[in-house]
Chain A
């Protein structure tokens, strides 16, 4: 019994037209076509999706959680990017 594992694929599903694809989990398959068929059987048995993306897991690059504090730091002190930063007089409507 000397065999390789089938590659691992990440599965993304669009639950309905107009929404983004969202990561739902992963599965093993020999190729992309089989990954999509398996994803249908594993992740959409109750009409959870209208579209499936699969990506081989080894192709996903991710940010490093250990660097999160420094990495997202530039956004920390820019509260003026949020509408709540500005005061609008009570008499002004529709803003």
Chain B
């Protein structure tokens, strides 16, 4: 009966170490709950705000096929946001509060969505690069210690692979097209490469929460590990497309069997995180407007449901 001598928190850590999943009604340290609510809601917000840069191109997709695909992808992002909000709610967070925090700027979302989508090639680049980076972040989370989060991530990951492939196909089509199309693809890669590397977060040395999060298994690889994996994965794909990765320091390192690459502009990263990205204000404003303009719909639906319920009760009486 050794466990009797362990504190509640030590017992909790023992379960985590044994890869036992934590479920909503289980005891958990307050800090674990808080960190998870922050991480899951930040992830949910990223999915929801992530619809905006792509939604920008739905009406201008070059063909009906591309339009249908892009619509389906954006709808998936909405779905991913909803899976994740519902996982956050199992920890006792309220949906309205989560949204209020996004709207007030208190809650963060992925810095990548604060960059503008200037050409059709950006749709290809977002699917190929940005979703590629998201997949690297997300696949390990399918084994995260919190049950509802892990289950939501399994669903997300299943759908994400379609996103990446459709993006790669757009890039491939452009790269095999006219010189102007290929130039458009290269321009998009030039603009998105560095912001995508920023998606993995600050360097390990500047990421003080990583150690605790790894211990709790709500993070399974460090930021730098994932960034390295991403570069190693993407460079050959860019070469296949005939595109040049915009990094003069990029070089294969035989010894480590991986690429050496240049440093991210961390001043830019922190500036975007603080809400000064090129589209930061526009993105949050779009969400606030959608919320405010939808208020009458939410109220009307509730009133309608209430009226029908009362009618049914009267009829039964």
Contacts and interface: CB of A to CB of B under 8 A. Distances in A.
A4 B87 CA distance: 20
A25 B86 contact: yes
A5 B23 contact: no
A30 interface: yes
B68 to A, nearest CB: 13
Q: How large is the interface on B (under 10, 10 to 19, 20 to 34, 35 or more residues)?
A: 20 to 34
B26 A27 contact: no
A3 B79 contact: no
Contacts, number: 58
A1 B89 CA distance: 21
B25 A65 contact: yes
A35 to B, nearest CB: 10
Most buried by B among A25, A45, A46, A65: A25
B25 A42 contact: no
Contacts of A43: 79
Interface string A30-59: 110010000001110110000000000000
A62 B24 CA distance: 11
Contacts of A34: 301, 305
A8 B89 contact: yes
A46 B76 CA distance: 10
B308 interface: yes
A4 B25 contact: no
Contacts of B299: 3
Interface in A77-91: none
B302 A42 contact: no
Interface centre among B76, B304, B305 (most CB of A within 10 A): B305
A65 B301 contact: no
Nearest to B27: A66
Given A6-B301, A42-B79, A1 B295 contact: yes
Contact of A3 (B89, B159, B295, B309): B295
Contacts of A42: 79, 82-83
Contacts of A27: 82, 86
Contacts of A62: 25
**By CB atoms of chain A within 10 A, which of B27, B148, B302 has the most?**
B302
A28 B292 CA distance: 18
Contacts of B301: 6, 30-31, 34
B298 interface: yes
B249 to A, nearest CB: 42
A23 B87 CA distance: 13
Nearest to B22: A65
Contacts of A25: 83, 86-87, 148, 151-152
B305 A31 contact: yes
A26 interface: yes
Given A1-B295, A66-B27, A28 B83 contact: no
Nearest to A68: B26
Contacts of A17: none
A46 B27 CA distance: 35
B25 A30 contact: no
B94 A5 contact: yes
A31 B310 CA distance: 13
Nearest to B23: A65
A64 B89 CA distance: 19
B102 to A, nearest CB: 15
A29 B295 CA distance: 14
A64 B27 CA distance: 11
Contacts of B83: 25, 42
Given A30-B302, A62-B25, A5 B86 contact: no
Q: Nearest 7 pairs between A and B by C-beta? A: A30-B301, A31-B305, A30-B305, A26-B86, A25-B86, A65-B26, A65-B25
6 contacts: A3-B298, A25-B86, A31-B304, A42-B83, A45-B75, A65-B25
